[in-house]
Amino acid sequence: MQLKDKVAIITGAGIGRACCLLFAAEGAKVVAVDLDQASLDSVSTDVQRTGGAILAIQADVSRAADVERIVSATCDAFSTVHILFNNAGIVTHGKIHQTAEADWDRAMTGNVKSMYLMSRAIVPIFLKQGRGVILNTSSATALRSVVDRAAYSATKGAVLALTKSMASDYVRDGIRVNCLCPGTIDTPSLRGRLAAFTDPEEARKQFVARQPMGRLGNAEEVAEAALFLVSDNAKFVTGTAFSVDGGFAV
């Protein structure tokens, strides 16, 4: 029970789903946030089936009003927050000359502004109680370039820099800030993107081929890394980029 009596907000229900299940199993009261109500209903059912506590909130974390509603509902239900996992995000494809301005703005809003808004709303709570943990999802593409991911990689590089900046700003306030850098993870989001290819199976083979371990990662493996970083087992860890990528960025 590494997270006994902790309250954890987890945004995004892809990798976030596995994190909700694991964090709840480790004793946390979980607040799951996503745009998709069906995904929220599914994870809520699974957490409750195992006796865990969960509050599901359908919201857009890139909108300030929604973020205020998330924090208010969390405090109403559980009185406070101990862990914020900024995991929600989107993947955009293309080189710079192929990236429309609207797609660039959508990537920056979904992947960076959302973390700014959520962190801005939660940090005052952490400062008041003298402790707290923030975990941001960056990407292996922030550490090693891949083709056709210009906007996406730019946002994930920004997340990495934001993480380090926040870690420095709050290290003396009892607040730890780290980021995860996942490689290619087999999630519903990835499967949806693969389905858009003319030959989804060939596309999947190409994704696997670029992984040094010869396979895709799974959400449960990322969840285990997230658990370590938000738990007291990592209480001397802040400002780090923790790779879960099967050696992709080595």
Measured CA distances, 178 to 83, 134, 169, 204, 214 (Å): 12, 7, 13, 30, 27
Measured CA distances, 199 to 184, 190, 206, 211 (Å): 18, 14, 11, 19
Annotated catalytic, 152?
Answer: yes
Yes or no: say if 67 and 41 are a contact pair by the CB < 8 Å rule: no
Q: Using only C-alpha atoms, what is the Rg of the chain?
A: 17
Yes or no: say if 57 and 69 are a contact pair by the CB < 8 Å rule: yes
Q: How far apart are CA 170 and CA 70, in angstroms?
A: 23
Residue 243: its H or E element: strand 241-244
Q: How far apart are CA 37 and CA 56, in angstroms?
A: 9
Catalytic residue among 85, 152, 170, 248: 152
Which amino acid, residue 125? Answer: I
Whole-prediction pTM: 0.94
User: Domains of the chain (ranges plus CATH)?
Assistant: 7-184+220-235 (3.40.50.720)
Tens digit of each residue's pLDDT, the chain (250 residues): 999 999 999 999 889 999 999 999 999 999 999 999 999 999 999 999 999 999 999 999 999 999 999 999 999 999 999 999 999 999 999 999 999 999 999 999 999 999 999 999 999 999 999 999 999 999 999 999 999 999 999 999 999 999 999 999 999 999 999 999 999 898 777 787 778 888 888 888 888 888 889 898 999 999 999 999 999 999 999 999 999 999 998 8
